Amino acid sequence: KQEVTQIPAALSVPEGENLVLNCSFTDSAIYNLQWFRQDPGKGLTSLLLIQSSQREQTSGRLNASLDKSSGRSTLYIAASQPGDSATYLCAADGTGGGADGLTFGKGTHLIIQP
Amino acid sequence: DGGITQSPKYLFRKEGQNVTLSCEQNLNHDAMYWYRQDPGQGLRLIYYSQIVNDFQKGDIAEGYSVSREKKESFPLTVTSAQKNPTAFYLCASSIRTGVPFGYTFGSGTRLTVV
């Protein structure tokens, strides 16, 4: 059974710093790896999707990488801003492309200090 | 705009009552999912459906029931058999099996037992 772990659980940094959020998964036979953002009391907003054949994806100040062989993904946030404060969730899609649902990590709670 | 609509945003349930959470999507996605989110536990899969009139249990299906009579709709009923229903419930959809376009989430329903 797939397990997803996110480190650190919480992170507080001053505005302007570059930072890295880590995600690891136990079963490397994933189809996709998807990063989400969740604001308090809200739903999930998709940030980046990395297909199993890809190594990384970029969107603005965000860059996500995927290393299936080591079971790791990282989310890099450049030049952090107070508006980036949220919980970031990593989720692994099941094997073989089946629509069986995502397996989530518990998230990294990020605070960017003004 | 296409998306997922969950209603109501807040729901209060008395002991012994059944309540139904609504999830509607206009994305023309084949697959739909229900997740439960508790503090410190991350998101857990309750039920999912890949096609109309078919659905499967997820990791924590006990005390819940679903139906999929229309492609656009996937309501979740929290029955009196669910002993600890207070949580944040999220509905999601994906286009179909084997296509790497990721998952879209609704804004959630917060259920509280009173």
CB proximity list for B22: less than 8 A, separation 6 or greater: B5, B6, B7, B8, B73, B75
Of A69-73, B38-42, B87-91, which gets the smallest average pLDDT? Answer: B38-42
Average pLDDT over residues B75-101: 87
Which of A36, A97, A106 is closest, CB to CB, to B98?
A: A97
Contact B106 A91 (CB under 8 A): no
CA distances for A109 relative to A54, B11, B81, B94, angstroms = 26, 26, 33, 26
In terms of Cα–Cα distance, which of A13, A15, A32 is closest to A108? A13
CA distances for B35 relative to A51, A54, A79, B72, angstroms = 22, 27, 33, 17
HSE-up of B64 (CA within 13 Å, CB side)? 26
Residue B10 DSSP class: E
Q: Which residues in chain B have Cβ-Cβ distances shorter than 8 Å to A43?
A: 6, 90, 105-108
Interatomic CA distance for residues A79 and A63, integer angstroms: 12
Q: What pLDDT is stored for residue A14 in this prediction? A: 97
Interatomic CA distance for residues A67 and A74, integer angstroms: 9
> What is the sign of the dihedral through the CA atoms of B2, B52, B10 and A102?
negative
Confidence of residue B53 (pLDDT cuts 50, 70, 90): very high
Interatomic CA distance for residues B31 and A65, integer angstroms: 26
Of A82-96, B11-25, B46-60, which gets the smallest average pLDDT? Answer: A82-96
Tokens of B108: 């959630």
Chain B nearest-CA residue for A106: B42
Q: What pLDDT is stored for residue A81 in this prediction? A: 97
Please, are residues A31 and A52 in contact by the beta-carbon 8 Å criterion? yes
Q: What pLDDT is stored for residue A95 in this prediction? A: 59
Q: Which helix (H) or strand (E) holds B39?
A: none
Beta bridge partners of residue A104, listed in sequence order: A91
Q: What pLDDT is stored for residue B1 in this prediction? A: 66
Write down the mean pLDDT value for chain B: 92
Average pLDDT over residues B11-27: 93
3-state secondary structure (DSSP) of residue B69 = coil
Residue A15 DSSP class: T
Q: Residues for chain B: how many in total?
A: 114
Q: What pLDDT is stored for residue A97 in this prediction? A: 46
Q: What is the CA radius of gyration of chain A?
A: 14
Q: What pLDDT is stored for residue B97 in this prediction? A: 59
Q: Report chain A residues touching chain B, CB-CB < 8 A.
A: 31-32, 34, 36, 41-46, 49, 51-52, 89, 91, 93, 97-102, 104-107
Interatomic CA distance for residues B32 and B18, integer angstroms: 22
Chain B nearest-CA residue for A107: B42
Low-confidence stretches of chain A (pLDDT beneath 70):
95-99
